Amino acid sequence: MPSKQRDNQGSARNGSAYPEPVERLIETLARLPGIGRRTAERLAFYVLKSPAEEADRLAAALRDVKRAVRHCRVCYNLTQSDPCPICADGSRDRASVLIVEQPKDCIALEQTGVHRGLYHVLMGRISPLDGVTPAHLTIDDLLARFDDPSRNPGGVRPTEAVLGLNPTLEGDGTALYLAGELRKRGVAVTRLARGLPSGGQLEYVSRAVLADAIAGRQRME
C-alpha cells in the first residue's frame, strides 16, 4: 500500500474533516453546557439522518425563544407579554409575593393552584463559594417592590413575603438574608413548610426530613 506521499494540507482539504456545515454544527452544539464533542457529533449525525423539517423545527424553536420570550419587568418570571400574565391578572392577591430561585419553580408552584398571590424570581441563590452575591440576583428589584408601591402591579405594595427557596444550604442562607431585609421593611415573612413528602414512606425519609417533620408538627383540627 502506498504510504504518506502527500502533505497533510492536501488531505485536509479533501477529507480529513467533516464538511464545513457539519463541523460548524458540531462545534456550535458542543458549546452548549453538558454537551461534549462526542455528544455533539452524535446529535449532528442524528440531525443529518432525520428529515429536514425536524432540523427546521428545532432551528425555528431556537430563534423564536430568543425573540418572543423575556423576563417580566416586575417579577422576572419568563413571559411573552410584559408584565407577565400573573402580574397582569387583577384577580390575584397582590399583597402576597412568593419568592423563588428560578422561573421553573413558579411553574411547579402554579400547578398546585394554592398560591393566589404574585411571584418574584431571584434568578439564582446567594452562593459565596460560586461568587454569587445579592448584587448578582434580582434582590434589589425585590426590595424595591416593598419600598416603592409603583414598582408593583396596580401600585399595590405587598405586605407578605413567602420564601420559596430550595431547602438547601444555599437556599436557606439566601432565605435568612432576605428575611432580615424584608423584616426591616415591616413585611410579614413566612417560608414554605418543611416536613414529610406526601406519598412518601416514613422509613425511606432522611433524618433531616424527619427532624423537620417533628420540629414543625402540626395540630390536628
Nearest distance, CB of residue 206 and a second copy, angstroms? 22
> Which residues sit opposite 162 in a β-bridge?
98, 190
Nearest distance, CB of residue 85 and a second copy, angstroms? 5
β 78-79/93-100 pair status? unpaired
Nearer to a second copy, 1 or 129 (CB): 1
Nearer to a second copy, 22 or 177 (CB): 22
Nearest distance, CB of residue 1 and a second copy, angstroms? 7
**Sign of CA pseudo-dihedral 9, 15, 18, 20:** positive
Rounded to whole angstroms, the Cα distance separating 141 from 138 reads 5
Rounded to whole angstroms, the Cα distance separating 161 from 192 reads 11
Nearer to a second copy, 110 or 212 (CB): 110
Nearest distance, CB of residue 171 and a second copy, angstroms? 18
> Which residues sit opposite 117 in a β-bridge?
93
Angle between helices 20-30 and 37-49 (to 10 degrees): 130
At CA 111, angle to CA 168 and CA 211, rounded to 5? 30
Nearest distance, CB of residue 80 and a second copy, angstroms? 5
Nearer to a second copy, 107 or 210 (CB): 107
- Residue written as cell 414598582? 151
Nearer to a second copy, 66 or 207 (CB): 66
